[in-house]
Amino acid sequence: MKCFRTIAMIPARYASSRFPGKMLALLGGKPVIVRTCEAAAGMGLFDKVYAVTDDERIKDTVTAAGIPCIMSSREHETGSDRIAEAVQDIECDIVVNIQGDEPFTRREVIEQVLRPFYEKDGESVDLSTLKEEMTSQEEIHNPNNVKVITDIDGYALYFSRTPLPYLRDPSTSARWWRHIGIYAFRRQALEMFSSWPMGELEAAEKIECLRFLEHGRRIKVVETSGMRVSIDTPEDLALAEQILGSRL
């Protein structure tokens, strides 16, 4: 059985166009970023869990909760660029990027995103991520839901904010998949990603996975289900409170 030193990096910015300061918003009496970090640490899958931020308020908050925090020194286009800077002096093989606004990420989901590295063709996998089927037209046409289409072997063909595929013939059937923004990078792949400039497709769609595809790299996409709410708006926070309350 292969054994990789695996760490979780949880990028957290204070700024947010739809919900500024959401990382420090309280969810069940704890800041969102603290709940996310504690959930990751409690999975027992990581050799170490780090928060990564450029904001002193977030650093002070997670450090007070006993969570290791790395300050990034510059502005970054994406969370993956931020963790690429943070991981430079850390020994590891696999880096899992868990979004700081995903406090309900489950252990089995992380196991799914890590599995491709341990399978027969695992040596060829640079980056693994997730998808979940969408069934409602509202979800499918919502540009905040990134869609992904894959080939028959589960490798990404394209990511977009528009519905993919387009159903030209209503008599045929199709399935639509929402991309889940959890990534497992082989360390060398993360370093490559951050060294490449943003291309036209990534700039247009604002989807960081497109940088990998634009540079001819393959992305393994694993099917999952039952993903809980990510906190993008105050309304999402209220829903998260309900979900948390139902668990208590």
| Mean confidence (pLDDT) of the chain | 92
> What is the Cα–Cα distance from 61 to 197, expressed in whole angstroms?
32
Tell me if residue 128 falls in helix, strand or coil: strand
71: which 2 tokens?
């300050």
* Reported confidence tier of residue 138, pLDDT bands at 50, 70, 90: very high
Query: Residue 206 in contact with residue 114, Cβ under 8 Å?
Result: no
Is 96 within 8 Å of 46 (Cβ atoms)?
yes
What's CA 151's distance to the chain center, in Å?
21
Task: Say what angle helices 79-86 and 187-195 make with each other, to 10 degrees.
Answer: 120
Contact 81, 191 (CB under 8 A): no
Taking CA atoms, 50 is separated from 6, 13, 66, 104, 175, in Å, by: 12, 14, 10, 17, 36
Nearest to residue 181, comparing CAs of 243, 127, 141, 140? 127
pLDDT in tens, 89-134: 899 999 999 999 999 999 999 999 999 999 988 888 999 999 999 9
Task: Express each pLDDT in 215-228 by its tens digit.
Answer: 999 999 999 998 76
The 8 Å CB, 24+ separation contacts for 211-216 are 212/126, 212/127, 213/156, 213/158, 213/159
Q: How many CB atoms lie within 10 A of CB 133?
A: 12
Element housing 7 (H / E): strand 6-12
Residue 247 binned pLDDT confidence (cut-offs 50, 70, 90): low
In the chain, the N- to C-terminal Cα span, in Å, equals 38
